[in-house]
């Protein structure tokens, strides 16, 4: 078993990483504070794992809300519907909200927990690779808006995260690969040794070898914990975690969250960031090829596309939540394993990158 601790003073918590955590009653002992528990999950995850979670909760007064699957679920409409249900019950201030599912469920349930009666107890039980290595860690919660991804939300830390590696066995290959985008991201931004390890072991990773699975989840969480502890609310270094996201969010918004999974859009965004970094003279063509080759071996898209206009991407990036004082911020690569936040790259180079990929 691995335990990664997030040191944030009174908001500190542990991420537990192991097999068989779902069903181990000890893992929730002392974390579920009151008698009421409100579980948020989705139609895919509920048949697989909800019964195990309910068994862990014993004689608690448990309510559940089952969402449709998909990124479009992360909406103000569903946020409001969950709050309606909690008020109808009614849930009191001692209620514990538990997110059982992937990043969409975690982000939405976390925002509910952050805002219901100005904040209630919250636990993350991520069941996808992407949520185990990224979205369940660090306290970002929120919903999407038609004009932009994750534009509405709050920083709100859980009391505990249970990452049961066994849940990855039920992921389809596309969802698994989407999670690998965030794993590769950690290597690119500040852990060259990890990036090189993934290059050497990508076949074992794709085969979901048990030892490799625990390692990539643990190391990814360690990387994120190190950054979040320094910058909880993304006023500085935490923005490095957005490598590929400025481009990727624009792609998701342009396609109404229907064409690419989040990790797939981030993968294309990382390829675009590497391309722009090369135009800046920071990495060379061979570095870009290494990035693209690893993404491709991980089953991720990284090639140009022909169904979105370059102008559309440029316009959508202007309303990204990372824009400050009208300046678009990007995370670019000074070298493999070394990222830097760049405000308003040279327009001609940015346009050249977008035009290279967006051939619509």
Q: Please indicate, yes or no, if residue 121 is contained in any of the structural domains.
A: yes
Q: Please check whether residues 156 and 49 belong to one and the same domain.
A: yes
Question: How many helices and strands in the chain, by DSSP H and E?
Answer: 12, 11
Report the CATH number at residue 270: 1.20.1090.10
pLDDT on residue 147 = 83
Please name the residues in contact with 70: beta carbons below 8 A apart, sequence gap of 6 or more: 104, 257
pLDDT band at 325 (very low <50, low <70, confident <90, very high): low
Across 95-121, average pLDDT: 98
Q: Please indicate, yes or no, if residue 11 is contained in any of the structural domains.
A: yes
Q: Please indicate, yes or no, if residue 178 is contained in any of the structural domains.
A: no
Q: Please tell me which residue in 16, 74, 140, 329 is annotated as part of the active site.
A: 140
Q: Please check whether residues 164 and 192 belong to one and the same domain.
A: no
Cis amide prior to 90 (ω within 30 degrees): yes
Q: Please check whether residues 204 and 285 belong to one and the same domain.
A: yes
Flag whether pLDDT at 61 surpasses 70. yes
Q: Please tell me which residue in 159, 185, 245, 290 is annotated as part of the active site.
A: 245
Q: Please tell me which residue in 27, 71, 182, 264 is annotated as part of the active site.
A: 182
- Is 289 known to be catalytic? no
**Whose structure tokens read 């290959």?**
173
Q: Please tell me which residue in 10, 77, 118, 347 is annotated as part of the active site.
A: 118
Q: Please check whether residues 192 and 129 belong to one and the same domain.
A: no
Flag whether pLDDT at 360 surpasses 70. no
Q: Please tell me which residue in 121, 149, 242, 329 is annotated as part of the active site.
A: 242
- Is 259 known to be catalytic? no
Cα torsion angle, 50, 53, 54, 55, sign: positive
CA distances to 7, 168, 176, 180, 293 from 45, rounded to whole Å, are: 30, 11, 15, 20, 32
Q: Please check whether residues 144 and 18 belong to one and the same domain.
A: yes
Q: Please indicate, yes or no, if residue 183 is contained in any of the structural domains.
A: no
Q: Please check whether residues 62 and 161 belong to one and the same domain.
A: yes
Across 27-47, average pLDDT: 96
Cα(142)–Cα(136) distance, integer angstroms: 12
Q: Please indicate, yes or no, if residue 179 is contained in any of the structural domains.
A: no
Q: Please indicate, yes or no, if residue 112 is contained in any of the structural domains.
A: yes
- Is 200 known to be catalytic? no
pLDDT on residue 85 = 98
As for how many domains the chain has, the answer is 2
Q: Please check whether residue 349 is in contact with residue 207, taking contact to mean a CB–CB distance below 8 angstroms.
A: no
Q: Please tell me which residue in 149, 160, 219, 262 is annotated as part of the active site.
A: 262
Q: Please check whether residues 217 and 344 belong to one and the same domain.
A: yes
Q: Please check whether residue 155 is in contact with residue 6, taking contact to mean a CB–CB distance below 8 angstroms.
A: no
- Is 190 known to be catalytic? no
What percent of the chain clears pLDDT 70, i.e. is strictly above it? 99
Q: Please indicate, yes or no, if residue 202 is contained in any of the structural domains.
A: yes
Q: Please tell me which residue in 234, 252, 275, 322 is annotated as part of the active site.
A: 234
Q: Please tell me which residue in 238, 275, 321, 329 is annotated as part of the active site.
A: 238
pLDDT on residue 310 = 94
Q: Please check whether residues 64 and 155 belong to one and the same domain.
A: yes
- Is 234 known to be catalytic? yes
Mean pLDDT of the chain: 95
- Is 224 known to be catalytic? yes
Q: Which residue, 170, 200, 227, sits at the end of a domain?
A: 170
Q: Please check whether residues 200 and 338 belong to one and the same domain.
A: yes
Across 195-216, average pLDDT: 96
pLDDT digits (tens, 9 = 90+) for 207-230: 999 999 999 999 999 999 999 999
- Domain extent for 13: 2-170
What H or E segment, with its residue span, contains residue 277? Answer: helix 262-279
Q: Please check whether residues 238 and 106 belong to one and the same domain.
A: no
Q: Please indicate, yes or no, if residue 140 is contained in any of the structural domains.
A: yes
- Is 150 known to be catalytic? no
Q: Which residue, 144, 170, 196, sits at the end of a domain?
A: 170
Report the CATH number at residue 83: 3.40.50.1970
Q: Please tell me which residue in 224, 275, 278, 322 is annotated as part of the active site.
A: 224
**Whose structure tokens read 């950690």?**
186
- Is 51 known to be catalytic? no
- Is 232 known to be catalytic? no
Flag whether pLDDT at 324 surpasses 90. no
- Is 16 known to be catalytic? no
Q: Please check whether residues 108 and 251 belong to one and the same domain.
A: no
């Amino acid at each position: 078993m691995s335990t990664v601790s997030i040191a944030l003073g009174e908001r500190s918590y542990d991420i537990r990483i192991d097999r068989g955590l779902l069903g181990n009653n000890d893992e929730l002992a002392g974390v579920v504070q009151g008698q009421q528990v409100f579980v948020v999950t989705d139609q895919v995850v509920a048949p697989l794992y909800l019964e195990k979670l309910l068994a862990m909760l014993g004689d608690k007064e448990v309510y559940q809300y089952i969402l449709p699957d998909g990124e479009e679920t992360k909406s103000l409409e569903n946020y409001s519907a969950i709050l309606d249900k909690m008020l109808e019950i009614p849930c009191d201030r001692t209620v514990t909200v538990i997110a059982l599912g992937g990043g969409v469920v975690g982000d939405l349930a976390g925002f509910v927990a952050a805002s219901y009666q100005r904040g209630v107890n919250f636990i993350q039980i991520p069941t996808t690779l992407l949520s185990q290595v990224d979205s369940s860690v660090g306290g970002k919660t929120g919903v999407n808006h038609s004009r932009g991804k994750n534009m509405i939300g709050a920083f709100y830390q859980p009391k505990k995260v249970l990452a049961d590696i066994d849940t990855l066995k039920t992921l389809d290959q596309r969802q698994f690969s989407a999670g690998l985008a965030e794993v590769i991201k950690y290597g690119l931004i500040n852990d060259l040794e990890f990036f090189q390890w993934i290059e050497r072991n990508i076949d074992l990773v794709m085969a979901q070898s048990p030892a490799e699975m625990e390692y990539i989840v643990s190391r990814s969480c360690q990387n994120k914990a190190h950054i979040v502890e320094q910058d909880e609310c993304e006023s500085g270094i935490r923005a490095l975690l957005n490598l590929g996201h400025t481009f990727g969010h624009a792609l998701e918004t342009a396609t109404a969250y229907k064409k690419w999974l989040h990790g797939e859009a981030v993968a294309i965004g990382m390829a675009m960031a590497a391309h722009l970094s090369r135009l800046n003279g920071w990495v060379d063509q061979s570095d870009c090829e290494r990035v693209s080759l690893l993404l491709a071996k991980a089953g991720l898209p990284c090639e140009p596309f022909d169904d979105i206009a370059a102008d559309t991407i440029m316009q959508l990036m202007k309303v990204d939540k990372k824009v400050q004082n009208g300046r678009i911020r990007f995370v670019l690569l000074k070298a493999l394993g070394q990222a830097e936040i760049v405000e308003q790259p040279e327009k001609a180079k940015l346009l050249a990158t977008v035009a290279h990929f967006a051939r619509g």
